[in-house]
Chains A and B, each alone.
Chain A
Amino acid sequence: MQSKSIYKVPNGKLLKISLDYDEKNNSITKINIMGDFFAYPEESIESMENELKNTMLEKESLIKKINSIIKGYNIEFIGLHVEGLTEGILMCKK
């Protein structure tokens, strides 16, 4: 299943998610995280997209996984945050 969302992150920038997901398992198959936010280092967003594959599409799992990727790759977001990214991803299912 393919879906997209556009989400204005509270106190942040415009986030655009393009998501392929497995309806049966409720998990991410492929994700693109796009928008006019800032993330340092920039290339880490591709690592995040890769690492998010197979993550369950529910709030707690996403927050936990995203936090662990941020820690692992030492990512700093500006104009985006974990809650906003989680919300943008989950909006693809609404």
Chain B
Amino acid sequence: MKEQWRLLKTNFSTAFTNMAVDRAVLVTSSEGKVPPTVRFYGWKPSAISIGYFQSLEEEVDLDTCRKLGVDYVRRITGGGAVFHEEELTYSIVIPETHPQIPKNILKSYGRICGAVMKGLDNLGIESKYVPINDIITGGKKISGNAQTRKAKIVLQHGTVLTDVDVDKMFSVLKVPNEKIKDKLIADVKQRVTSIKHVLGKEIRFEDVAEAMKRGFEEEFDVELIEEPLSEEEKELTIKFEKECFSARDWNHRR
């Protein structure tokens, strides 16, 4: 019988809830209370997440965010700023001692990205992992990923772009040099793609989630069983959302 992991489908939530759920699962997982967990989710309203080491005010145009109703949040993972709008986001939370997870951090990025690539393959999209943390198709980025390790647990989350509006993305993200902004936007349009663009048609969020579910099952040879968050995880989510992810101290700390 195949090993059974938990599948969480939390659908669309705010940036603060989304990041709080990932952290809540990290905690229950570190206490051995839940099996390895794969989660699929989306963002409502649209939001920017920044990497742990980034400066909020250097990366994000806060005034434009407020005008457009775009939220912003600091992640507990490193990496870059991401504009979350039309995408499926996944997370996986698993003990670092699990035999399916390489001890080496970079290798484990590749392994988990393998599940996303199998998911894309299930949608008819051939893709390739490009270290450190990107997945590309046809030479263009379709997925970005970020991992942390805390309390002997691996948490990796990442995006799979279903559509992309580069102009809107750069209205809320700051660029280091305003003079070359137009060129930068043109470059990014050349370097980023989405499921919709590759397939030439819209794919429903649920269908992307199903393809990704099978991708994770195939990559790790497991069965994903859909379950809800535990009561403790729900309580932790509320706590982390309030005390951390929606708090000014956290988001403006760098």
Contact = CB atoms under 8 A, between A and B. Distances in A.
Interface of A: 6, 13-14, 16, 18, 32-42, 45, 76, 78-79
Given A39-B53, A42-B52, A34 B58 contact: yes
B176 interface: yes
A36 B80 contact: yes
A76 B93 CA distance: 20
Contacts of A40: 105, 148-149
27 contacts: A13-B80, A16-B58, A32-B55, A33-B53, A34-B54, A34-B58, A34-B254, A35-B51, A36-B51, A36-B54, A36-B78, A38-B78, A38-B79, A38-B132, A38-B133, A38-B146, A39-B78, A41-B149, A42-B53, A42-B76, A42-B148, A76-B105, A78-B78, A78-B105, A78-B106, A78-B132, A79-B132
Interface string B129-159: 0001100000000000011111000000000
A39 B58 CA distance: 20
B224 interface: no
Nearest to A76: B105
Contacts of B24: none
Nearest to B79: A36
Contacts of B58: 16, 34
Given A35-B54, A36-B78, A38-B147, 10 more contacts: A13-B80, A18-B55, A35-B53, A37-B78, A38-B132, A39-B53, A40-B148, A41-B150, A42-B53, A42-B148
Contacts of A18: 55
A6 B176 contact: yes
Contacts of B52: 42, 45
What is the predominant secondary structure among interface residues of chain A facing chain B? strand
B81 interface: yes
**Most B CB atoms within 10 A — which of A6, A13, A39, A45?**
A13
Interface string B178-208: 0000000000000000000000000000000
Closest 9 pairs (CB-CB, A-B): A36-B80, A38-B78, A42-B52, A34-B55, A36-B51, A79-B132, A6-B176, A34-B53, A36-B79
A50 B148 CA distance: 22
A22 B121 CA distance: 56
Contacts of B53: 33-37, 39, 42, 45
Contacts of A39: 53, 78
A41 to B, nearest CB: 7
Contacts of B80: 13-14, 36
Contacts of B106: 78
Interface in B66-90: 76-81
Nearest to A42: B52
Nearest to A45: B53
B243 to A, nearest CB: 16
Given A6-B176, A76-B105, A42 B55 contact: no
Contacts of B146: 38
